[in-house]
Amino acid sequence: MKKLHIAAAVAASLAVSAHAQDTQIDRKVTELMQQMTVTEKVGQLHQLSGRQFTGPTSSNYADKLADIRAGKVGSMLNVTGVADTREIQALALKSRLKIPLLFSLDVIHGYKTVFPVPLGEAASWDMEAIELSAHIAAKEAAAAGIHWTFAPMVDVARDPRWGRVMEGAGEDTYLGSQIAAARVHGFQGKQLGATDSVMATAKHFAAYGAAIAGRDYNAVDMSEQQLHEVYLPPFKAAADAGAATFMNSFNTLNGIPATGNAMLQRDILKGAWNYKGFVVSDWASVREMVPHGFAADLSDAAVKAINAGSDMDMEGYAYSQHLEAAVKAGKVKMEVLDDAVRRVLTKKFELGLFDEPYRYSDAAREKAVLGDASHRAAALDVAQKSIVLLKNENKLLPLSREAKRIAVIGPLADSQRDLEGGWVVQGERAKVVSIVEGIRSHAGKAKISYAQACAPGCASSAGFAEAVATASRSDIIVLAVGETWDMSGEAKSRTDITLPGQQEALFNALKATGKPIVVVMLAGRPLVFNTIADKADAIVYAWFPGSEGGNAVANVLFGDYNPSGKLPITFPRSVGQIPLSYAQYNTGRPVLADKNITYRSAYIDSPNTPRYAFGHGLSYTDFKYSGLALSSAVMAGTQKVTLSFDLANSGKVEGTEIVQLYLRDMVSSVVRPLKELKGFQKVRLKPGETRRVSFTIDRDTLSFFNSQLKWGAEAGEFKLMVGSASDDIRLENTLQLTQ
Ligand code: BGC
């Protein structure tokens, strides 16, 4: 009890001091703003790129430096490292009011230490590991002068043609919300302003992941129901976790560009959610409202964007060129400008930049932090946790080290660049552990031979004969194939998501040797690979696993790490099935079995089922589920019900299972999905060990957005399902909700 009192007192005093700090900062911002001209205010909302490594255009660098010196720039992206950030900050400090710049960068999955791409990390379902990964990325970036990362991307993405599925947490709103919060906590640490943390950005607000036909930047057309229920919750989770900033998006949403969308930015974000951070546009998205056909010209775009709640203009030059005139002409109220400027300045104060403008740019810290060897260990840990074992016929894996001859083949087997994936800022390529290098160093007595067969992309089959000969002299083949790093990410939409080039032909040629084949697949998205799915003996999906990728893959192959990853996104059988999610709605004519398709909601040339379902992932051990019980079969009002069951490791090795809780609201005023993920736990068990696992179900678990877009639960029957994957439900029960 006493402890509790002390804890409560400490929490209360922290809250009081945080509030005091808020009001103190408020006062300082007010004092500063009283001295600012309209030109200087507009300057705070103007963000420019340094020597450009993102985005299509950039104006003269010398002009940019002059504008910084004149106090006409609030933030720079793409300037990094202590030396450069110091040099540029010094210019800002020569301006009349000496307002420091914010330095921002796309630190998406690591700064120097490269972690798996975000979709890969999502497959770990491991909030601690994900938070740590973001924290290390933040620590490294913050030691190199960066104040602010443009991450996490929290867009729900259900279309693997869209290259940016790689940057998010996959298709599910519940898992995505948990990961959004974990990443924000990781980047921002305990408190803004701590020099081992950076400001996070929840992006891209909103619904960017639902681009029609998976084509990047394309229009989005969706019901309000979908928006509120599926696409917005991860943003809300990021806001609740304290994300310092939001970034809006390139797309239109039901005809209105997100950047000029007052419903999103004013009504929902800054209104209903009472969000106090600021919104940065996406790269030139203010300007792009002109080609959209939403703004007549750049001046009109500036007016529409700021009035709709876009606070900072990234490389759009709309605010810098037109906002002052628009304010003077009364098209933008001074309160609107002031509100945006206040939001930006507040963050600069919270980061402590007015007192110490160079506090993130410390050469000694940069050297120490970027050389910290423990970061590689964390990268290895999360890379292992991200790997998904899709298939393991006859328990071919783990490989034995006893005097085996292993042929490592494939265009990606000795690649370092491809293991990093996209959005790499300062990664040390030469230190990336390739797959063959990882296998060699973990192989013990096993003899390793290597043949590339074809270069990444696999355009030519000239090297196949040598690869087949190498394979023929071995006992087992490990084939590393997949997409190259530059095939997913921004502007990397594909209509064909099968293995690029001649990789399937390579697989077939190797298969003809009759040797068992383990396929290690690298990609930033779900690929379609039906032949391999049918014929390979084992498939290990490694995403783009980062600096320690080769070691992670080798640990899994040899069983030093028992895989536990689960797919955070559905793997379709063909592009024709897309978009495909486990959380689909029933039709009036559901398919009862794949054969029963007459006048049913089905295809005549394909099953409806995916190749690999959301939540799928195997282990080297087996898990048994039994004894499902509910503390009560009926739930009323604000009561809580506990669902529990026994999970046993019935195999021979220690392993981790990610148990998943799904539910279906059987009859409701708005049709509900067949399954919705509502909980998960990672449970580590020794062989023979059994543990009782429990989930608490409350009203919130049973709630959804009704036709009035109000969050709430409706009385009636709910089916509760527990399982190892969305298509592998092991236990079920029903719960009755009374009002
Ligand atoms: C991307 C953003 C990114 C920005 C800055 C844009 O093209 O859509 O996600 O943060 O560039 O690099």
Q: Rounded to whole angstroms, how far apart are CA atoms 369 and 143? A: 7
Q: Pick from 53, 58, 77, 150 the residue to mutate for probing ligand 1's pocket: most ligand atoms within 8 Å of its CB.
A: 150
CB count in 10 Å sphere of residue 646 = 15
Architecture of domain 623-738: Sandwich (2.60)
pLDDT in tens, 455-473: 999 999 999 999 999 999 9
Q: Rounded to whole angstroms, how far apart are CA atoms 625 and 638? A: 29
CA of 54 to the centre of ligand 1 (A): 7
pLDDT score at 591: 84
Q: Pick from 48, 49, 53, 54 the residue to mutate for probing ligand 1's pocket: most ligand atoms within 8 Å of its CB.
A: 54
Catalytic annotation, residues: 282
CA of 282 to the centre of ligand 1 (A): 6
Q: Rounded to whole angstroms, how far apart are CA atoms 579 and 450? A: 38
Of 11-25, 264-278, 599-613, the one with minimum mean pLDDT is: 11-25
Confidence check: pLDDT of 4 > 80: no
Query: In the structure, what pLDDT confidence band is assigned to residue 596 with cuts at 50, 70 and 90?
Result: low
Answer for the pair 158, 209: CB distance below 8 angstroms, yes or no: yes
Task: Verify whether ligand 1 is closer than 6 Å to residue 55 (CB atom).
Answer: yes
pLDDT score at 113: 97
- Rounded to an integer, the average pLDDT of 380-385 is 98
Q: Rounded to whole angstroms, how far apart are CA atoms 662 and 698? A: 14
pLDDT score at 61: 84
Query: In the structure, what pLDDT confidence band is assigned to residue 13 with cuts at 50, 70 and 90?
Result: low
Extended strands (E) in 570-715: 623-630, 634-636, 641-649, 655-665, 676-685, 690-697, 704-705, 711-712
CA of 118 to the centre of ligand 1 (A): 15
pLDDT score at 12: 55
Q: Pick from 78, 165, 245, 282 the residue to mutate for probing ligand 1's pocket: most ligand atoms within 8 Å of its CB.
A: 282
Task: Verify whether ligand 1 is closer than 6 Å to residue 490 (CB atom).
Answer: yes
Confidence check: pLDDT of 56 > 90: no
CA of 100 to the centre of ligand 1 (A): 23
- Rounded to an integer, the average pLDDT of 570-592 is 94
Confidence check: pLDDT of 64 > 50: yes
Q: Among 482, 463, 486, which Cα is nearest to 417's?
A: 486
- Rounded to an integer, the average pLDDT of 674-702 is 98
Q: Among 114, 166, 118, 165, which Cα is nearest to 141's?
A: 114
Q: Please give the mean pLDDT across all residues of the chain.
A: 95
pLDDT in tens, 485-499: 999 999 999 999 999
pLDDT score at 398: 97
Per DSSP, helices labelled H in 351-412 are 363-370, 374-386
Confidence check: pLDDT of 59 > 90: no
Q: Phi first, then psi: what are they for 448, rounded to 5°?
A: -110, 130
The DSSP code for 571 is: B
What predicted TM-score, i.e. pTM, was given to this entire model?
0.96
pLDDT in tens, 97-108: 999 999 999 999
Helices 173-188 and 233-240 cross at an angle (nearest 10°) of 30
Answer for the pair 617, 388: CB distance below 8 angstroms, yes or no: yes
Task: Verify whether ligand 1 is closer than 6 Å to residue 246 (CB atom).
Answer: no
- Rounded to an integer, the average pLDDT of 349-360 is 97
CA of 497 to the centre of ligand 1 (A): 23
Q: What angle do CA 114, 115, 121 make, to 5 degrees?
A: 160
Q: Rounded to whole angstroms, how far apart are CA atoms 452 and 413? A: 7
CA of 276 to the centre of ligand 1 (A): 22
Domain boundaries, the chain: 378-577, 623-738
Residue type, 327: V
Give the three-class secondary structure for 136.
helix
Confidence check: pLDDT of 260 > 50: yes
pLDDT score at 2: 44
pLDDT score at 22: 81
Q: Phi first, then psi: what are they for 90, rounded to 5°?
A: -60, -35
Tokens of 346: 């507040």
Task: Kindly list the strands in the beta sheet with 517-522, ordered across the sheet, starting from the edge strand earlier in the chain.
Answer: 388-392, 538-541, 517-522, 476-482, 405-409, 447-451
Tokens of 450: 């290597």
pLDDT score at 3: 45
Residue whose CA lies nearest to ligand 1 atom number 4: 283
pLDDT in tens, 128-170: 999 999 999 999 999 999 999 999 999 999 999 999 999 999 9
Per DSSP, helices labelled H in 248-373 are 262, 289-292, 298-308, 318-328, 334-350, 363-370
CATH superfamily, domain at 378-577: Glycoside hydrolase family 3 C-terminal domain (3.40.50.1700)
**% of residues, the chain, pLDDT over 70:** 96
pLDDT score at 60: 80
> Do you know the residue count of the chain?
739
Tokens of 514: 């009759």
Tokens of 523: 């990609």
Give the three-class secondary structure for 348.
helix
- Rounded to an integer, the average pLDDT of 179-186 is 98
Q: Rounded to whole angstroms, how far apart are CA atoms 583 and 219? A: 23
Query: In the structure, what pLDDT confidence band is assigned to residue 402 with cuts at 50, 70 and 90?
Result: confident
Using left for φ > 0, alpha for ψ between -120 and 50, and beta otherwise, residue 487 falls in alpha
Residue whose CA lies nearest to ligand 1 atom number 8: 282
Task: Verify whether ligand 1 is closer than 6 Å to residue 167 (CB atom).
Answer: no
Confidence check: pLDDT of 368 > 80: yes
pLDDT score at 611: 98
Confidence check: pLDDT of 54 > 70: no
**% of residues, the chain, pLDDT over 90:** 91
Cα 123 to Cα 135, 202, 454, 658, distances in angstroms? 18, 20, 29, 10
Task: Verify whether ligand 1 is closer than 6 Å to residue 283 (CB atom).
Answer: yes
Q: What angle do CA 70, 150, 118 make, to 5 degrees?
A: 165
pLDDT score at 52: 62
Ligand 1 atom closest to the Cα of residue 249 is: 8
pLDDT score at 594: 56
pLDDT score at 8: 54
Query: In the structure, what pLDDT confidence band is assigned to residue 17 with cuts at 50, 70 and 90?
Result: low
pLDDT in tens, 295-320: 999 999 999 999 999 999 999 999 99
Confidence check: pLDDT of 82 > 80: yes
Confidence check: pLDDT of 6 > 80: no
